[in-house]
Amino acid sequence: MSDPQKHETMLEVTNLKKSFSGFVATNDVSFTVEKDRTTAVIGPNGAGKSTLFNLITGHLLPDHGKVVLEGRDITGIAPHKICGMGMARSFQRTNIFPKLTVYDNIQAAFIAHGGRGLDMWGVANRQFRDKTESMIEQLALRDVARTIAGEMSHGAQKQVELGIALAGEPRILLLDEPTAGMSAQETHESIALLDRIAKARGLTLLFTEHDMEVVFSISHKIAVLHQGRIIATGTPDEVRNNEEVRRVYLGGDKH
């Protein structure tokens, strides 16, 4: 506690294992995510990144190992309950209501998190409206608030998905390839926005990403997965200079 550099542990994953009909997708994975830090999980296609996220968020049950969120064992707990404990996520494939407007997508998320005793026409409605407006403002979606979400660019849809995840007011947010399918410009803008929001809200981020420029620009810590195992964990510099990581993933001259 006396060391200002030392961050509290937000999430701890210990010896996680998951097989699919004999194929080991997650093999004895252990790592920690520190509070208020940005942590990336990287690795080639099929390394097990999405599976790991599914194990952490309760979408998959591990064969072995545990997941501890802020000191509480959450292994085997249902996703919506984990969500209620302060963990939100976005999926590799965009997960929004494509036929609703941007505004309605985000308001629906606030209502979903609003709990019981909902009075749609009274105080609650006003409260959700204010929260929705302020989220739309924060995500720079004001100009497209009345646009049908499914008709927007992929980058903008991802922004809406981020708003939906943030509506739960999480303390930790997991993002599975947040910039997949985005143009260079969209990638740049959305990462700058994400970084800003994380800092403003004191949000802990855990994300997977194939764009190494993004990974190395915003991460405090990087874990490298290869064939279901963690082969390195460390600061961006440590990972960049790790022999095995260079051999199996980063390649000789790219970084």
Ligand X SMILES: Nc1ncnc2c1ncn2[C@@H]1O[C@H](COP(=O)(O)OP(=O)(O)OP(=O)(O)O)[C@@H](O)[C@H]1O
Q: Which residues bind ligand X (CB under 6 A)?
A: 20, 25, 43, 45-51, 92
Selection from ligand X, Mg ion, none that 43 binds (CB < 5 to 8 A by kind) is ligand X
Nearest CB to ligand X, comparing residues 54 and 105: 54
Tokens of 197: 């929001």
The nearest distance, CB 5 to ligand X, in angstroms, is 31
Selection from Mg ion, ligand X, none that 190 binds (CB < 5 to 8 A by kind) is none
Nearest CB to ligand X, comparing residues 105 and 179: 179
Nearest residue to Mg ion, by Cβ distance, number only: 50
The nearest distance, CB 181 to Mg ion, in angstroms, is 13
Binding mask 31-60 for Mg ion (x = CB under 5 A): ------------------xx----------
Q: CA 70 to CA 167: how far, in whole Å? A: 20
The nearest distance, CB 17 to Mg ion, in angstroms, is 18
Tokens of 192: 């700058």
Nearest CB to ligand X, comparing residues 2 and 45: 45
Q: CA 22 to CA 52: how far, in whole Å? A: 17
Taking CB under 5 A as the binding criterion, the range among 91-99, 145-153, 212-220, 222-230 that sits at the site for Mg ion is 91-99
The nearest distance, CB 76 to Mg ion, in angstroms, is 22
The nearest distance, CB 250 to ligand X, in angstroms, is 15
- Positions in the binding site for Mg ion (CB under 5 A): 49-50, 92
